[in-house]
Copies of this chain bind each other. A is one copy, B any other.
Amino acid sequence: MEQPERVASRLRARYDAVRAFTESLCAPLCAEDYVIQSMPDASPVKWHVAHTTWFFETFVLGERAGYAPFHPRFGYLFNSYYVSVGERHCRPRRGVLSRPTVEETYRYRRHVDERMRELLDEIGAGRHLDLAFTIEVGLHHEQQHQELILTDLKHAMAQNPLRPAIFGGAPPGRSGGPAGELRFVEHAEGVRWIGHGGDAFAFDNETPRHRVFVGAFALAERPVTCGEYLRFMQDGGYARPELWLSSGWDAVVANRWEAPLYWEPRDGGVQLFTLHGLRDVDVDEPVCHVSHYEADAYARWAGARLPTEAEWETAAQGALSGAEEVPGRAAPGEAPPGNFAERGRFHPEPASAPSRPGAPRQLLGDVWEWTSSAYAPYPGFRPWPGALGEYNGKFMSSQLVLRGGSCATPATHVRATYRNFFPPDARWQMSGIRLARDL
């Protein structure tokens, strides 16, 4: 068993880093940007900043006798969906709250940070060790909201006819070159182990590690690019119902989809909106902001299909253990290399040359990759005990699994067993496409 002081020291470093990263993402915002909610699925940045604080206040500080909440109504305002914790403000109405102000929200944040640092000292002294795990959950929770801050902000800015660039200037220079022809990597059939098994942190929905039978398949060595997706569009992809799932076609018609989210025709060409403003589409970069329906239709058009999550994870295991540059080789707690949020691009970039021929590229980072797997409990799944059991398990219905993290995901947050999930029509996440094929 790890020494209390080591536990506390590790948590303290990570707490400081994670909390600071949230604030650094918000640094370019003006107060007005914090307030708006552009759709029910998105939340104001202010809400994210407060909710991540509320999480520590409620599930960590609140567990200790004698802690008085910073404000008697913040529990109501900043609880997201934890029914067992109490009533909460209606989600689609988060954008009508100008108060608490941004400044008060940061005061709330400071207050909880102070108490948390006191608690970490107590943990270092061997008390409250049972709260260490919840703190870790809280940090991963905050990292998820870092990604949501970015995607919700992007959605909000895209509603504004001024198309404001939150992050000024051009994005940091890209690496990578021409995409080249798409190649597939073959995998033999067999019973495979998937899911999280070790001691390191993972969400409950990644467990237990278990066996699945996976038939022979091939997986594309990189995501589908904008150039490839443009060919689908030019071939009438959005006008041919036979390429679509029935509910996907309904979504195309109802929402008048004609391109990925944030693409807009401008001056005869096509531009897309990024957190650094409008830009021309780069044909070599992974296509992003497509729904599961679009990913599925594209795959059908391309004579392929989406991978199952078991296939994806099987392939990732192989890839991430065979070469030095890959994430699996990162020391525990270290970030895998790749285009993650820390890089500050917040946009997928063209793939670099593979480390060795046939090695899959961009499995982690750049874009989340839609799988064909419904988000369901693994065999033997047990939700975390208590209120945290509401974190993941109750959403296992009518959603699909995405894998691999994106350019808006913090690097230390993701891993090969990580299961993200969204409804099939969601497009505001950094979601892209990796193809698979039967053999």
Enumerate chain A interface residues (CB-CB to B < 8 A).
30-38, 46, 73, 76-77, 81, 83-84, 89, 93, 95-102, 156-157, 159-162, 164, 191, 210-213, 215, 241-242, 244-249, 292-293, 296, 305, 372-374, 376-377, 379-380, 390, 394-398, 424, 438
**Cross-chain contact B376 with A398 (CB below 8 angstroms):** no
The answer to whether A246 and B99 touch (CB under 8 A), given A32-B31, A376-B372, A438-B380, is: no
Residues of B within 8 A of A83 (CB): 241-242, 249
Partner of A98 from the list B99, B156, B379 (CB cut-off 8 Å) is B156
**Cross-chain contact B156 with A96 (CB below 8 angstroms):** yes
Residues of B within 8 A of A246 (CB): 81, 394-395, 397
The answer to whether A84 and B242 touch (CB under 8 A), given A160-B97, A213-B212, is: yes
The oligomer's copy count stands at: 4
Residues of B within 8 A of A31 (CB): 30-32
Identify which of A34, A164, A213 gathers the most chain B CB atoms within 10 Å of its CB.
Answer: A213
The answer to whether A33 and B98 touch (CB under 8 A), given A374-B376, A438-B379, is: yes
Partner of A244 from the list B77, B305, B379, B394 (CB cut-off 8 Å) is B394
Give the docked Cα–Cα distance between A34 and B36 (Å): 11
Q: 18 A-B contacts, Cβ less than 8 Å apart?
A: A30-B98, A31-B31, A31-B32, A32-B35, A32-B46, A32-B101, A33-B99, A36-B97, A37-B96, A81-B246, A96-B156, A100-B162, A191-B213, A211-B215, A245-B395, A249-B394, A292-B397, A293-B397
Partner of A397 from the list B32, B96, B161, B424 (CB cut-off 8 Å) is B424
**Cross-chain contact B162 with A248 (CB below 8 angstroms):** no
Give the docked Cα–Cα distance between A241 and B84 (Å): 8
Residues of B within 8 A of A305 (CB): 377
**Cross-chain contact B398 with A99 (CB below 8 angstroms):** no
Partner of A245 from the list B159, B241, B248, B397 (CB cut-off 8 Å) is B397
List the B residue with the shortest CB-CB distance to A81. B246
Seed contacts A31-B31, A98-B157; 7 additional CB < 8 Å A-B pairs:
A31-B32, A32-B34, A32-B46, A34-B98, A36-B96, A81-B246, A191-B191
**Cross-chain contact A35 with B98 (CB below 8 angstroms):** yes
Identify which of A32, A161, A191, A390 gathers the most chain B CB atoms within 10 Å of its CB.
Answer: A32
Residues of B within 8 A of A242 (CB): 83-84, 390
**Cross-chain contact A213 with B215 (CB below 8 angstroms):** no
List the B residue with the shortest CB-CB distance to A38. B96
Give the docked Cα–Cα distance between A56 and B213 (Å): 40
**Cross-chain contact A162 with B99 (CB below 8 angstroms):** yes
Residues of B within 8 A of A73 (CB): 161-162
Give the docked Cα–Cα distance between A161 and B395 (Å): 27
**Cross-chain contact A36 with B212 (CB below 8 angstroms):** no
The answer to whether A161 and B89 touch (CB under 8 A), given A95-B36, A191-B213, is: yes
Residues of B within 8 A of A95 (CB): 36, 95-96
A140 to chain B, nearest CB (A): 20
**Cross-chain contact A398 with B372 (CB below 8 angstroms):** no
A32 to chain B, nearest CB (A): 4
List the B residue with the shortest CB-CB distance to A308. B379
Give the docked Cα–Cα distance between A159 and B97 (Å): 8
Partner of A99 from the list B32, B99, B376 (CB cut-off 8 Å) is B32
